[in-house]
Structure 1
Amino acid sequence: MNISARSLPFLLLLGVAAQAQAQDPNACPQLPVDSGLAWQHQNAGDSEFCRALRADGSEAFGMVIGRDSPFDPDRSNREETGRIDGREVQWYRAEIALKPGVQARETLVRLADGRVAHIWLQARSDDALVEAFGQAEALRFGARRDTQVVAGQ
């Protein structure tokens, strides 16, 4: 399954719409305090687009939080398991046609308020992948802390 073919236009549209960075501490989950990351947030109708950026401006991981997600996990693409905000998650392998050699993973998490968080990450090495997992899995959804995994479990 080529996730970039379905999700990329949606994500590019959100990126184009994000002319200015807005900081809404309630829109995106809490980042690990010592991560060195900062949120870039954009409200997109009834969805929230959140990118965790490193100090150099590169994306560590990102997510869309909304009622639904365009990501439809394929069980044959299951890779690692992990935990986000205390709940077990299944990470799925994604292929990015324009970035050969980049390891990409995605997961879905249903939030207590009924919305879904589609979280993705990309890494150029095994070490970078482990670091990205650690950062994404240290997220805390605050008031939406009671989460559960959805899709393909």
Structure 2
Amino acid sequence: MNKTALCLPLLLLAASAAHAQDVAGCPQLPAGSDLVWEHRATGDADFCRALRADGSEAFGLYISREATFDPKRANRQEAGAIDGREVHWYRAELATKPNIEARETLLKLDDGRVAHVWLQAAPGAPLQQAFDMASGLRFGADRQVAAGQ
């Protein structure tokens, strides 16, 4: 009985950490990423920002009925994957952050909605780390990716 009582706080802490990643409306964050979702729902759309411990954004996404991003083939930069599905990342310009690389992509979801995913990072290893984190997103059965762009 005493061992159970001693373990209870640890179990509750582990459950709350797992729950921090499980936000209705947002996909599951990559295991071990130490990211948490900031979520806002408006009508039938969901706005999700994956935040680091310091509060900075690792990446974000907007899920809605209509695409909020129109990819231009001339801006296509990298091929990648999210939730095991192929995607193409498109270059975006950030006038106020000339030393930061910005990328965005679209995912069509089984429920008929579209996920617009974006990220911003310094060139090189930080950008690759951002791609790796975004690729670890897992959409639930009701939000399984149907096709990459």
* TM-score above 0.5: yes
Distance in structure 2 (CA, Å) of the matches to 1:96 and 1:77: 14
Match of 1:102 among 100, 108, 117: 100
4+ residue runs over 3 A deviation: none
Distance 1:42 1:115, change over 3 A: same
Q: Is the 8 A contact 1:85 1:139 kept in 2?
A: yes
Aligned to 2:79: 81
Distance in structure 1 (CA, Å) of the matches to 2:124 and 2:32: 21
Amino acid at match of 2:147: Q
What is the TM-score when the length of structure 1 is the normalising length?
0.80
In the comparison of the two structures, how many residue pairs are matched? 129
Distance in structure 2 (CA, Å) of the matches to 1:58 and 1:47: 23
Match of 2:133 among 132, 135, 142: 135
5+ residue gaps, structure 2, are: 1-20
Distance in structure 2 (CA, Å) of the matches to 1:27 and 1:96: 27
Provide the alpha-carbon RMSD of the alignment. Answer: 1.6
Q: Percent identity?
A: 60
Aligned to 2:146: 147
Aligned to 2:111: 113
Provide, for residues 47-81 of structure 1, a one-character-per-residue CA deviation record: whole Å limited to 9, x for no partner. 10000000000000000000012210000000100
Q: CA deviation at 1:45?
A: 2.0
Aligned to 1:12: none
Provide, for residues 69-108 of structure 1, a one-character-per-residue CA deviation record: whole Å limited to 9, x for no partner. 2210000000100111111000000001111111000000
Show the 5 A alignment for 1:33-52. Answer: 33-52=31-50
Q: Is the 8 A contact 1:24 1:41 kept in 2?
A: no
Alignment pair present for 1:91 and 2:114: no
Distance in structure 2 (CA, Å) of the matches to 1:92 and 1:146: 18
- Secondary structure of the residue aligned to 1:50 is strand
Distance in structure 2 (CA, Å) of the matches to 1:121 and 1:146: 19
Aligned to 1:62: 60
- Secondary structure of the residue aligned to 2:61 is strand
Amino acid at match of 2:86: E
Distance 1:126 1:46, change over 3 A: same
Distance in structure 2 (CA, Å) of the matches to 1:77 and 1:146: 23
Aligned to 1:11: none
Aligned to 2:15: none
